[in-house]
Structure 1
């Protein structure tokens, strides 16, 4: 059976999260009760919604943020913590649809998105284990050729990179699995839940009213928007939908025209016991985050307390893979034989939203309702930029937002019943291609 309740699966996947175990949450914010008014209502308390709320409050707008669960409880608080320049789609959709000049502008904005993280950490005193450094790796000669092209593209676009192949790869990663690699120090990694909670504190200090356990079940559109929850409603001039793939789970009719353009994809991470400092330095010199260039990829890094956080093994069916901890531990051991048999106390996962072409999907519904979706695995940095761009648009400066809004997107094929199994079958083909190199 291809389909299982997304919400039920999502809840189960967060029971053994290293991030939840290593962050201190404040007392829950009260749910919305009664009728309130604001300039802007933001739906979703992840990176994108928090960033939008913070930016708009700093511009003098009154903002209400409605979160269905807890702040950072979705993808923003569970992801690999890797803040990466560029886009999951590559530059292809940007160059094809926007032209070379605007495609370069989009690339430059992705670099600014990483810089924005560092600025916010400094400005708001967010302790989230931020670390610069990123290594890209390839595990076959064919993948190495593709990686070389990516390295050259990064370099051409102004990101300083260092290339390695053969025995020289050991400078960047202590694994015989990889035949080529390159390193850059523009991208980086952090503790995502600590960062989300820090953004929430900053938003509250700026005057944002945050309500948790307040899923939006209905949205009345028009010159004035009315967002309804089980116990209250928010009337606002503007709205921002930043609910990731969970938005339709709570309010299927809130934005039915954009929901078919994204697909929930499960991704999973294990966390080991703390490791010896010398072992960590041998496995990943310089403490960079790492990702391979397979279609079904592995990504990994060390936490601030020296735990290997190893992610991958995506699911396109909403069903959690069987023996998830065992499967992930074996994948980790294949990359780093030294970690076979190491205790793995944490295993968790969640759902990210992907678009058909893996490019971000930002836009408007009418004149006053904005949406941010389709981050496709690059959301740690890109969500923060998205919040800033939508705040600019609401304030009347829409040029940077409209750069992304010009990208055209298509629904996933198959409709509500068939698109998930169709994508799952398609992924079997890509898994086979990865296996064959």
Structure 2
């Protein structure tokens, strides 16, 4: 199986993103070059792994985190920075799929996820430009009605008063794009600088006692003995528990997870500072996601740039000209910015599941895994880390709720799933372009 860890990035280097350019990255942490023991060994230093490390260390566990590149290197440090409400799947659809009781529990966990991010940011003094507000914008009257129906469900069933419906006029007043026909505005959701948040979690985890080793790729996990053993190129860890927090960069470490969690690539561009032109993008400092199947998402940065995410790829390599790839959907949404200079453009690998719900599972006698956030990971991945920590400590109610969501494997296994996904996603992308 091809390992995406090194397909598009230089070992131990953050990508040349606007995010990396606007934070002070710490000095590289030492790789693991010895044999050690720990209570818990975590593979992956993104939101999931760092949150798990922090919460476990605060409970008094001896925790070691192994990261093949740098803390926050993967999707956690490259994404659109949107802290959404609920799950990637709407509450009405979850009720249809899983029943009202399960949907209610998942809504509550989604609320917990937002609250956790806000609490960690405040408690640990993480300066990640966390701001309230995410709008969902529709391309048609029918899509707007669907968004309004979902908002009504949240208001009436859950008493969620922080979301409002936007008609076409109100939507245009918020986001002056000629493409949109209104939508919803959720002021209980938010947006942030994701790499700054990840680096803040890493600092907090280390302050609590966790050990983080960077440029340390786990080559093998042996769960056959009394204690799992993880082998790296130059070291070895023996632990009571193992947490897999690899998301799209799992590689071949676990077949059960790999069959259900598919890596895909997504891309983001940052324009030059727009100055007064920001008023023709957004009139309020909120983030936006639209109703395209291959979703467009955007917001204004704290230095006045448009951060626009759009376009996906399903092979291992990123395209040569990421800026040109993102410019196409950006120009469709904002025709007046068709020629605006793009100062940064980068790609990242996230992970999706068949049902677009996170996949949490016990994948060995003492091995837990969480991944597959499907573009809804800022809150869910952070919460998943806490749920994993709770489960290690014997408090597994939240973990078990997420693990109970059915997670079918992709058809055809890991060899055939990618071509099938390309066909399916290409079809939906064509529907997006045709407006079907």
TM-score (norm: length of structure 2): 0.94
Q: CA deviation at 1:8?
A: 4.2
SS of 1:287's equivalent in the other structure is coil
Q: CA deviation at 1:245?
A: 1.8
2:170 equivalent in structure 1: 168
SS of 1:6's equivalent in the other structure is coil
Measured on the aligned residues, the alpha-carbon RMSD in Å equals 1.9
Given that 1:14 and 1:349 are in contact with CA atoms closer than 8 Å, whether structure 2 keeps it comes out as no
CA distance in 2, matches of 1:151, 1:94: 14
1:178 equivalent in structure 2: 180
Q: Deviations over 1:226-284 (max 9, x none)?
A: 11111111111111100112121xxx2x31222111111110000011121x4324421
Quick one: which of 213, 216, 219 aligns to 2:215? Answer: 213
Quick one: which of 285, 294, 302 aligns to 1:304? Answer: 302
CA distance in 2, matches of 1:8, 1:155: 45
2:405 equivalent in structure 1: 407
Quick one: which of 212, 221, 226 aligns to 1:223? Answer: 226
2:332 equivalent in structure 1: 334
SS of 1:39's equivalent in the other structure is strand
CA distance in 2, matches of 1:10, 1:323: 13
1:158 equivalent in structure 2: 159
CA distance in 2, matches of 1:44, 1:179: 41
Q: CA deviation at 1:97?
A: 6.2
1:280 equivalent in structure 2: 278
1:234 equivalent in structure 2: 237
CA distance in 2, matches of 1:299, 1:339: 15
Q: CA deviation at 1:92?
A: 6.4
2:202 equivalent in structure 1: 200
Given that 1:136 and 1:183 are in contact with CA atoms closer than 8 Å, whether structure 2 keeps it comes out as yes
**Unpaired segments ≥5 residues, structure 1:** none
SS of 2:218's equivalent in the other structure is coil
SS of 2:39's equivalent in the other structure is strand
Tell me, yes or no, if structure 1 residue 423 matches structure 2 residue 421. Answer: yes
User: Aligned pair in 2 of structure 1 residues 319, 33: CA closer, same or farther (>3 Å)?
Assistant: closer
2:248 equivalent in structure 1: 245
Q: CA deviation at 1:167?
A: 2.3
CA distance in 2, matches of 1:263, 1:91: 23
- Listed as ranges, the matches of 1:70-149 within 5 Å are 70-91=70-91, 94-95=94-95, 98-149=98-149
Given that 1:113 and 1:381 are in contact with CA atoms closer than 8 Å, whether structure 2 keeps it comes out as yes
Given that 2:36 and 2:237 are in contact with CA atoms closer than 8 Å, whether structure 1 keeps it comes out as yes
SS of 1:261's equivalent in the other structure is coil
SS of 1:147's equivalent in the other structure is helix
Q: CA deviation at 1:98?
A: 4.7
**Unpaired segments ≥5 residues, structure 2:** none
Q: Deviations over 1:210-229 (max 9, x none)?
A: 10011111111143111111
User: Aligned pair in 2 of structure 1 residues 93, 167: CA closer, same or farther (>3 Å)?
Assistant: closer
User: Aligned pair in 2 of structure 1 residues 16, 119: CA closer, same or farther (>3 Å)?
Assistant: same
Given that 1:143 and 1:294 are in contact with CA atoms closer than 8 Å, whether structure 2 keeps it comes out as no
TM-score (norm: length of structure 1): 0.94
Q: 362-371 or 177-186: which moved more?
A: 362-371
Q: Deviations over 1:394-413 (max 9, x none)?
A: 11111111011112212111
Quick one: which of 186, 189, 192 aligns to 1:187? Answer: 189
CA distance in 1, matches of 2:380, 2:414: 28
Given that 2:165 and 2:183 are in contact with CA atoms closer than 8 Å, whether structure 1 keeps it comes out as yes
CA distance in 1, matches of 2:423, 2:400: 35
